[in-house]
Amino acid sequence: MNKAFKYGLWLVVLVLLAFKSVYFKKLSDVKKTDAGAFRPDAYAQNFWKTKLPAAEAKAVDIDQLLATLKNNPHSAFQTYGHVIAIGSTRFFMVKGHGKVTDVTPDEVILNTAGSAPVQLATTYVFGNAVRDASGMVQITEFSNTIDLSNVSGEIDKIIRKEVLPPFKQAVKKGDNVDFIGAIALNEAHLNLSNLEIIPVNLKLQK
């Protein structure tokens, strides 16, 4: 009898230990917890729909910007440039109209209304140009820099998947294009030739 009580007690202890060591959680609850984490794709979608239109509305005409850059570069950087990081590179949201002079696998070359040759990037759309040029993203919104970088990656993905494919399919030499996009310029090494625009809005006129 004593022995049975002893074994019974041990069994109770073991069952209690096993019960306390394992716990079950609903998968939906776990997903809910993950949902609290920062989602750069959701941020980028929201940026695209609610913030970018305001930035596009403020875009400076490319020919006007180039003229200001030639006459008073520092003033142009201060007036139209945006940046998040410390450094001499600034990003500009520009708009304009141009005639297609060449179409290559990686870019579309345009002559703007003011006869400036510019390149619309159609393949290598990566980096912070659109995020920073908008002036709508603040570093204080992010607790770590990797989230900030991932936002750029997601914005660029939208451009590569939504803006570029229909344009690349239709564009031909001689077409006219209305464009809005972002450019990067380094004030310490200012180079106004081979200007590359990361497009956010393209309208083709045949």
Partner 1 sequence: MALYKVILKPIDKFMGMRRLFPILLLLLVFVACRNNNNTAGQRPKIAVVVSTLNNPWFVFLAQTAAARVKELGYEPRIFDSQNNTALETDHFDDAIASGYKAILFNPTDANGSVVNVNKAKAAGVPVFCMDREVNSPAPTSQILSDSYSGCVELGKLFVKTLHQKGTYVELLGLVADNNTWNRSKGFHSVVDEYPGLKMVAQQSADFDRNKAMDVMQSVLQAHPDIDAVFCGNDAMAMGAYQALVAAGKANKVKVLGFDGAEDAVQAIKDGKILATAMQFPKIMAQTAANDADEYIKGKRDFPAKIPVAVEMVTPSNVNEYIAYGKKN
Cα distance between residue 151 and residue 70, in whole Å: 33
Enumerate residues 34-53 that contact partner 1 by CB under 8 A: none
Using the rule CB under 8 A, which residue among 21, 28, 33, 143 binds partner 1?
A: 143
Check if the beta carbon of residue 148 is closer than 8 Å to that of residue 41.
no
The answer to the question of residue 1 lying near partner 1 (CB under 8 A) is no
Check if the beta carbon of residue 201 is closer than 8 Å to that of residue 163.
yes
The answer to the question of residue 92 lying near partner 1 (CB under 8 A) is no
Using the rule CB under 8 A, which residue among 2, 21, 144, 193 binds partner 1?
A: 144
Enumerate residues 172-191 that contact partner 1 by CB under 8 A: 186, 188-189
Among residues 90, 172, 186, the alpha carbon closest in space to that of 135 is found at: 90
Nearer to partner 1, 154 or 180 (CB): 154
**Beta carbon of residue 51, minimum distance to partner 1 (angstroms, whole number):** 20
**Beta carbon of residue 98, minimum distance to partner 1 (angstroms, whole number):** 24
For helices 73-80 and 62-71, give the axis angle rounded to 10 degrees.
140
Cα distance between residue 99 and residue 204, in whole Å: 10
**Cα dist from 150 to 87, 89, 96, 124, 201, whole Å:** 20, 20, 29, 17, 21
Using the rule CB under 8 A, which residue among 65, 100, 118, 148 binds partner 1?
A: 148
Using the rule CB under 8 A, which residue among 45, 64, 68, 89 binds partner 1?
A: 89
Binding mask 111-140 for partner 1 (x = CB under 8 A): -------------x-xxx----------xx
Cα distance between residue 182 and residue 198, in whole Å: 5
Cα distance between residue 59 and residue 110, in whole Å: 18
What are the residues binding partner 1 (CB under 8 A)? Answer: 83-89, 106, 124, 126-128, 139-140, 142-146, 148-149, 152-153, 186, 188-189
